[in-house]
C-alpha cells in the first residue's frame, strides 16, 4: 500500500522548489520590461522574429535526426535519434555554462572569447553589440541552437558504429574546443577571421562555422573509426526513406529560421535571405535529381532530398549577401559539386562517410563560402561584401583563406579529439554489437516490433 501522506510531502517540496526561481525570474523580467520601455532600442518585431528563428533552428535537430534516422538500417534508427536529442540536452547546457562566453564573450587576442559571461552572467535583457534591437538573451538563445545542430551534423559520418558514451564525450569536447573557437573567429567581436575586427571574411549564417566545421570533423571521424562491417557492398539500403523525406522537409522549414533569422531583425535582409535560401534549396534538389536521371536512369527520392540539403547548406554563408541570381548559381553548382563528391569521390576512395556528412555539408559549405566571394553584393545588404562579379576579386581570396584555416583547424583538432576519446573510452562498438545494432546494444530498445 502506498502512503498518500508521503507523496504529498514530496509534491509540496517540488512545488515550492519550482515556485521560488519563478518568483526570482518574474522580478528580473519586470526590470527587463522597464529597460525596454525606457528607450533602449529594443524592437518587438525583431525580437519576435529572432525568437521564432531560434525555435525554427531548434526544430532542425529533430529534423536532422529523422533525415539521418531514415537512412540507417532498421536496427540503428533509435541510436541516431538519441544522439541528435542528446545534443539538444548536452550542448544547450554547455552553451549556458561556458559555450556562449567562449564564442561571443569579450575577445582575447582574436582567438577566443573570455569566460566573463560564464553562466550567461551579464547577458540580460538589454541589447548587445551583436544585435542592437533585441535583448542579448534572445541572441544567445538563437546562437545556442546553431551550437546544438553542428555536432549533430557529424553523426552522419560515424552512424551505426560509435559507442554512445564516446559520442557524448567527444561531442562535448568538440563543441568546447572546436565549435566555440571557430564561432568566435568568424562571428565574435574581435575574432581574427570575421568582419568584426578580423580579416574580413563573411559567413552569414554558418557556412564556415557550422557546415565546413562539421564536415571536416566528419572526415576525421571517417578516418579514425574506419568502415562499417560490410561496407560498401553488403550494407543494406536506407530502411525508411519516407522518414528521411520527412526529416528533410523539417530541415528545409527550419532553414528559414537558420538563414533568414540570421539577419537578427525583421527587415529587408531577412526577406532577401529567405528567398535566397529557398531558391538555392530548390535548385540543389532539382539538379541532383537530373544528374541521377542522366547517370543512373531514374530520378531518386534520396537524391532529391540530398540535393535540396546540399543547396541549403551551400547558400547558408551567402544567404543575406547574394541576390536571387547568385542564389540560383550557388544552388546549381552545389547540386553538381556535392553530387560528384558523394558519387565519384566517395566511391573512388572508398571511405565510409555513412550518411554523407562531409560530402553534403563539408563540400557544400566550402563551395558556398567561396561563392560569397563571387556573388556577394552590397546592393542586397549594405553591411555585406562585394564579390568577384561585383568588382571585388579580393573578397574571394579572403573567403578562401577563411575556408583553408577552418578546414585545417577543424580537421586536425577533430582528429586529435577522436584519438584521445578512442584511447580513453574506445570509439567503436564491438563487432557483435555492430551486428546486433546500436538500438539494442547501446540503448536496450528496439525501434520496431514484428508483431503488435
Partner 1 sequence: MKYIIAIIQPDRLDEVLDLLTKKEIHLCTVSNVVGRGRQKGIAEVYRSHREAGTLLKKVKLEIAINDEFLKPAMDAIIEGGRTGQTGDGKIFVFDMQECLRIRTGETGHVAIG
User: Residue 245 has which C-alpha cell?
Assistant: 523525406
How many residues bind partner 1 (CB under 8 A)? The answer is 11
User: Residue 195 has which C-alpha cell?
Assistant: 568582419
Of 378 and 443, nearer to partner 1 (C-beta) is 443
CB of 437 to partner 1, least distance (A): 8
CA angle at 439 for the pair 436 and 445, rounded to the nearest 5°: 115
Among 79, 67, 81, residue whose Cα is nearest residue 164: 79
CA distance 35 to 295: 61
Q: Per this entry, what is the length of the chain?
A: 452
Of 196 and 446, nearer to partner 1 (C-beta) is 446
CB of 434 to partner 1, least distance (A): 9
Of 240 and 316, nearer to partner 1 (C-beta) is 240
CB of 444 to partner 1, least distance (A): 5
Concatenating the DSSP letter of every residue in 296-359 gives HSS--HHHHHHHHHHHHHHHGGGTTTB-HHHHHHHHHHHHHHHHHIIIIIHHHHT---TT-III
**Among 1, 16, 23, 450, which residue interacts with partner 1 (rule: CB under 8 A)?**
450
Binding mask 201-240 for partner 1 (x = CB under 8 A): -----------------------------x---x------
| Piece of the chain touching partner 1 by CB under 8 A; list 34-42, 167-175, 264-272, 443-451 | 443-451
CB of 424 to partner 1, least distance (A): 24
Provide the 10 A C-beta neighbour count for residue 264: 21
Binding mask 411-440 for partner 1 (x = CB under 8 A): ---------------------x--xxx--x
CB 398 within 8 A of CB 201: yes
CB of 234 to partner 1, least distance (A): 7
45 lies in the site for partner 1, by CB under 8 A: no
Q: To 10 degrees, the CA torsion angle through 38, 264, 389, 202?
A: 100
Would you tell me which residues interact with partner 1 (CB under 8 A)? 230, 234, 432, 435-437, 440, 444, 446, 450-451
Amino acid at each position: 500500500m502506498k502512503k498518500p501522506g508521503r507523496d504529498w510531502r514530496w509534491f509540496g517540496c517540488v512545488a515550492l522548489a519550482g515556485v521560488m526561481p519563478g518568483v526570482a525570474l518574474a522580478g528580473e523580467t519586470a526590470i527587463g520590461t522597464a529597460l525596454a520601455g525606457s528607450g533602449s532600442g529594443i524592437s518587438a518585431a525583431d525580437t519576435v522574429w529572432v525568437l521564432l528563428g531560434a525555435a525554427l533552428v531548434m526544430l532542425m535537430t529533430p529534423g536532422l535526426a529523422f533525415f539521418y534516422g531514415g537512412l540507417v538500417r532498421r536496427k540503428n534508427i533509435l541510436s541516431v535519434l538519441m544522439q541528435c536529442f542528446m545534443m539538444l540536452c548536452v550542448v544547450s547546457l554547455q552553451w549556458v555554462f561556458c559555450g556562449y562566453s567562449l564564442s561571443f564573450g569579450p575577445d582575447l587576442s582574436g582567438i577566443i572569447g573570455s569566460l566573463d559571461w560564464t553562466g550567461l552572467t551579464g547577458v540580460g535583457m538589454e541589447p548587445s553589440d551583436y544585435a542592437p534591437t533585441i535583448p542579448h538573451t534572445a541572441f544567445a538563445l538563437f546562437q545556442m541552437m546553431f551550437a546544438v545542430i553542428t555536432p549533430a551534423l557529424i553523426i552522419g559520418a560515424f552512424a551505426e558504429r560509435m559507442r554512445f558514451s564516446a559520442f557524448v564525450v567527444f561531442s562535448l569536447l568538440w563543441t568546447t574546443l572546436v565549435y566555440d573557437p571557430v564561432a568566435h573567429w568568424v562571428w565574435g567581436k574581435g575574432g581574427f577571421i570575421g568582419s568584426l575586427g578580423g580579416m574580413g571574411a563573411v559567413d552569414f549564417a554558418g557556412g564556415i562555422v557550422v557546415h565546413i566545421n562539421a564536415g571536416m570533423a566528419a572526415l576525421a571521424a571517417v578516418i579514425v573509426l574506419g568502415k562499417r562491417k560490410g561496407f560498401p557492398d553488403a550494407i543494406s539500403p536506407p530502411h525508411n526513406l519516407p522518414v528521411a523525406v520527412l526529416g528533410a522537409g523539417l530541415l528545409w522549414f527550419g532553414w528559414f529560421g537558420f538563414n533568414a533569422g540570421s539577419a537578427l531583425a525583421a527587415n529587408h535582409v531577412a526577406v532577401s535571405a529567405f528567398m535566397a535560401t529557398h531558391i538555392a534549396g530548390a535548385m540543389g534538389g532539382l539538379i541532383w535529381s537530373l544528374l541521377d536521371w542522366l547517370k543512373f536512369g531514374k530520378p531518386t527520392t534520396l537524391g532529391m532530398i540530398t540535393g535540396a540539403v546540399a543547396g541549403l547548406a551551400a547558400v547558408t554563408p551567402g544567404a543575406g549577401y547574394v541576390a536571387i541570381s547568385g542564389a540560383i548559381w550557388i544552388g546549381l553548382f552545389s547540386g553538381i559539386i556535392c553530387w560528384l563528391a558523394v558519387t565519384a569521390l566517395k566511391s573512388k576512395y572508398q571511405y565510409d562517410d555513412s550518411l554523407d556528412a562531409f560530402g553534403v555539408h563539408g563540400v557544400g559549405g566550402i563551395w558556398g563560402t567561396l561563392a560569397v566571394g563571387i556573388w556577394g553584393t552590397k546592393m542586397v545588404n549594405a553591411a555585406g561584401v562585394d564579390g568577384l562579379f561585383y568588382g571585388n576579386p579580393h573578397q574571394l581570396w579572403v573567403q578562401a583563406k577563411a575556408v583553408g584555416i577552418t578546414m585545417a583547424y577543424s580537421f586536425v583538432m577533430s582528429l586529435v579529439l577522436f584519438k584521445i576519446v578512442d584511447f580513453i573510452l574506445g570509439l567503436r562498438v564491438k563487432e557483435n554489437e555492430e551486428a546486433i545494432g546500436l538500438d539494442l546494444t547501446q540503448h536496450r530498445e528496439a525501434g520496431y516490433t514484428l508483431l503488435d
